[in-house]
Structure 1
Amino acid sequence: MEENKSTDEVGSGQEHFHDAVECVNGDSNNGDGLNSEAGEVNNGDGQNVDVGDALGRFSACRGGEVHARMPVAKYATHYKMNHRKRGLAYIFNHEVFQCGGLKSRSGTNEDCKNLKECLTSLGFEVHGFKDLNYQDIETRIREVSKLDHSDHDCLLIAVLSHGEMGIVYAKDMPYKPDYLWTPFTADKCPTLAGKPKIFFLQACQGDKLDGGINLSTTETDGEIYNTYRIPVQADFLIVYSTVKGYYSWRNTTKGSWFIQSLCEELKKRAHEYDLMTILTFVSQRVAVDFESNVPDNHSMHRQKQIPCIMSMLTRLIHFNPAIGK
């Protein structure tokens, strides 16, 4: 169990969730099946066709018009991680805020320092940004999405901030975290198509607490004629420090439980296991080794946390050491 005399803080500076629920606009359908806009194919001859399990309108996508180079063979088990460069890593570190009465995030600079050292050791070209407004974050994201990543293995973006359910905070305002990764879908950033796009979010996702329970025990690239299609949303890995609706904890001296554990496991296992396996060990470390130290507040004391991993990966990521990285 992680023990120290410094206190733990939750990753949100507000006690209640204030974000409004956004409604989805669309035509209602009172029929027994999906309408044609939802992907229903109307034929009565019993053909084997695919339909969408959704109501509403399709969003526009130009993926079929975009042609990207295949970085690996169609059924390769691992992503190609021996390009000339590992890739860019952007860290958006937020300590102080100018919105919503949010508290400063003591310990976040330790997170940023540890993450920079860890990612640099893996060969990333790391860029750190401190206390940016949303417009500045959007500008940085847009700029990097327009770059040529042909010689890069992957892309990594980390955000260290306050958050609530469905939002994360810039210095001046909240925004939806999917704004971070939508510019990198394969149709919008074709030089990253078929390559890992990794996102780490250290932030609360709500105000629920996890009290935990006690457990006991009695003991080669394809040729041009060999092309294949992939979904534009493929090859993303999005890792939240906590599950939806729950607090994320940060020690005021050592940094957040999640970033501490992530850096330790990457340093220990990066050249031995694939990233998804490593993240399982990260979850284990957070779940087992940590509990909150808030002795002056009984309801917040000795609370637990578990990260949440959302994977759209199609292969394994292995950070093999390579010359020049």
Structure 2
Amino acid sequence: MAEKKKSECTLTYCDIMKNKHWRAAFFDWQFGGRKESERPALIQERQCFKEMVEKLNFEVYGSVKETRSLSKTDFLKELKRFKELCVSDPCGCIFLTISAHGTFVKADDQRDGGDLEFVEDCISIPKEELVPIQEIIEVFRDETLNKIPKIFFIQACRGKELDIGHPLDGNKNVGQDQNDDEPNRAHSTPYLENSVIVYSTPFGYSAGSSNKKGSHVWEVLKNTLDEILKQGDGKGPVKLLSWLKETNGVLAKSERDINDGTYKPLLSICHTLTREILFTR
């Protein structure tokens, strides 16, 4: 038994995560000038996130007022407050989720890539303010947080194309062809040690979201988590990367009609983990 526990700690972050706070924060934005009560998707998305992280034993940071529809300046201030809390009071894992519109812009760093144009993801918030994902990730570049696992879920579009995937029979690709006039683009991914960045759609595509239920991907994430927890009597353990892989397996099996479009989105996962993130108590 002792050898098994030692092996588990070597292969996972459990020795870093145990006996410390696991903290989660959720930031979202409403668009269109309608009241929150008239935007059920906004409420359901947050509730979906809250249920997921609480089942994983995370503490949720901040009130809705403190984390919704902030200006860029106020958002970065609140994000830094969250980070400082994680630094000042021992923290074993960080889980940050963002829900907004999104786009990509030409990156400042245009390394020698021939005819390639390097671009980076941004969230787009009201008053046409852009916040690069890189700037969000940089907030958590801190020596105190270096060794702990940091998880980022980004629900936002990453381009103008609708991601309808490939037909399940393997025949003709039903995706959209790239415009020949557009430059060849390479995506610049933020780097942060011991982190996972999960986008709700691959680079270059729109994200699937319903006006009634919100993010389709988050709904599937929650359902997949519930199935995993059932297998462990509601207590886990839950391996993060396995959970994400199972979610993509479910997403790949069916298309969904959301609003006026047909979507088959897949999670896009970038990580620098050296061990498995294992949620267990």
TM-score by length of 1: 0.62
Task: Provide the rounded CA distance (Å) in 2 between the counterparts of 1:208 and 1:269.
Answer: 32
How much has 1:164 moved relative to structure 2?
1.1
SS for the counterpart of 2:222 is helix
Change (3 A) 1:199 1:82: closer
The structure whose Rg is larger is 1
Q: What does residue range 1-325 of structure 1 map to in structure 2 within 5 Å?
A: 76-80=10-14, 82-96=17-31, 107-127=41-61, 128=64, 129-147=67-85, 148=87, 151-165=90-104, 166-172=121-127, 173-185=129-141, 189-216=142-169, 233-269=192-228, 271-294=236-259, 300=261, 302-321=262-281
Kept after mapping to 2: 8 A contact 1:153/1:196: yes
Kept after mapping to 2: 8 A contact 1:95/1:106: no
Tell which has more relative contact order, 1 or 2 (C-alpha 8 A, sep 6+).
1
Higher helix share: 2
Change (3 A) 1:209 1:256: same
Change (3 A) 1:157 1:293: closer
How much has 1:272 moved relative to structure 2?
3.9
Unaligned runs of 5+ in 1: 1-71, 99-103, 218-231
Percent same amino acid among aligned pairs? 25
SS for the counterpart of 1:214 is coil
Kept after mapping to 2: 8 A contact 1:237/1:311: yes
Q: Aligned pairs, how many?
A: 222
How much has 1:150 moved relative to structure 2?
5.8
How much has 1:246 moved relative to structure 2?
0.0
Alpha-carbon displacement from aligned partner over 1:234-277 (angstroms, at most 9, x marks no partner): 10100000011101011122221111112222233252441001
Change (3 A) 1:285 1:86: farther
Aligned partner of 2:263: which letter? Q
Residue matched to 2:112: none
Kept after mapping to 1: 8 A contact 2:208/2:258: no
Kept after mapping to 1: 8 A contact 2:168/2:253: no
Task: Provide the rounded CA distance (Å) in 2 between the counterparts of 1:105 and 1:242.
Answer: 22
Task: Provide the rounded CA distance (Å) in 1 between the counterparts of 2:13 and 2:193.
Answer: 13
Task: Provide the rounded CA distance (Å) in 2 between the counterparts of 1:268 and 1:95.
Answer: 31
Change (3 A) 1:293 1:255: closer
TM-score by length of 2: 0.71
Higher strand share: 2
Change (3 A) 1:206 1:285: same
Kept after mapping to 1: 8 A contact 2:252/2:265: yes
Kept after mapping to 2: 8 A contact 1:97/1:131: no
How much has 1:288 moved relative to structure 2?
2.2
Task: Provide the rounded CA distance (Å) in 2 between the counterparts of 1:171 and 1:120.
Answer: 29
Task: Provide the rounded CA distance (Å) in 2 between the counterparts of 1:154 and 1:248.
Answer: 27
Residue matched to 1:46: none
Aligned partner of 1:207: which letter? K
Task: Provide the rounded CA distance (Å) in 1 between the counterparts of 2:17 and 2:96.
Answer: 20
